[in-house]
């Protein structure tokens, strides 16, 4: 598959049985004008703009036979898994985790704002992983799910490019997964951060994998 800085995966061995799509945190709290991100003062237009492309990538991967994994960031209702520093940072941003918002308590599991947006509702056969941190590998069973199914290649989409997507990407690379980030199916609250995060992936010959656009995502044999 054509990607930057190299055709992905590097060995050309791309099989649905060993490939998973990660859809990172496409939740109302990050993609709705009444959610956590908007309450922090950020423009959610970039996170909304990617929804059709994320949906198209999901459909491509499902049709091909690959695994689709959704993640949701959020905390227990009693906030017992919320570190003090993370709570403090959310206060400084003006959207304290656990405080009341238009769609329930911000970033709290089970609240309406915490769930995945309707346009991307998980389908039968998809997997949903709930996480308390930025990386989808931290304090979750994602690694067990992927290793049990003998996954090798990961395709990443979602929000935000520079925080949860990149945190998951770096953890995946350290676990020897070969990653492809879909640039126009990811978004950040600050465009400069989005661009820098993508650029970092491609440095040193693809230190964190490769980058492609959704239009070039193809599972047909080349040549």
Residue 101 three-state SS: strand
Which candidate in 131, 162, 179, 202 is catalytic? 131
Look-up of token digits 């036979």: 65
C-alpha separations of 144 from 89, 91, 123, 137, 147 in Å? 30, 34, 21, 10, 5
Tell me whether residue 202 is one of the annotated catalytic residues. Answer: no
Tell me whether residue 131 is one of the annotated catalytic residues. Answer: yes
DSSP state of 164: I
Which candidate in 32, 58, 115, 164 is catalytic? 164
Helices (H), the chain: 28-31, 36-39, 45-49, 51-64, 84-92, 142-148, 166-174, 191-202
Element (H, E) at 159: strand 153-159
Which candidate in 25, 29, 32, 115 is catalytic? 25
Active site positions, annotated: 25, 131, 164
């Amino acid at each position: 598959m054509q990607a930057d800085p190299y055709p992905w995966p590097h060995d050309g061995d791309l099989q649905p049985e060993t490939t998973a799509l990660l859809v990172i945190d496409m939740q109302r709290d990050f993609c709705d004008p009444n959610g956590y991100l908007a309450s922090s003062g950020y423009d959610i237009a970039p996170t909304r703009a990617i929804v059709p492309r994320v949906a198209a990538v999901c459909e491509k991967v499902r049709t091909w036979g690959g695994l689709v994994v959704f993640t949701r960031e959020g905390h227990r209702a009693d906030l017992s898994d919320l570190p003090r520093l993370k709570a403090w940072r959310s206060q400084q941003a003006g959207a304290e985790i656990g405080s009341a918002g238009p769609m329930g308590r911000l970033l709290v599991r089970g609240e309406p704002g915490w769930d995945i947006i309707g346009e991307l509702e998980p389908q039968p056969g998809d997997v949903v992983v709930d996480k308390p941190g930025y990386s989808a590998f931290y304090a979750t069973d994602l690694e067990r799910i992927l290793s049990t199914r003998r996954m090798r290649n990961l395709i990443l989409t979602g929000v935000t490019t520079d925080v949860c997507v990149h945190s998951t990407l770096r953890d995946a690379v350290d676990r020897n997964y070969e990653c492809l980030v879909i640039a126009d199916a990811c978004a950040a609250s600050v465009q400069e951060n989005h661009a820098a995060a993508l650029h970092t992936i491609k440095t040193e010959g693809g230190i964190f994998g490769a980058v492609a656009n959704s239009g070039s995502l193809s599972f047909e044999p080349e040549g």
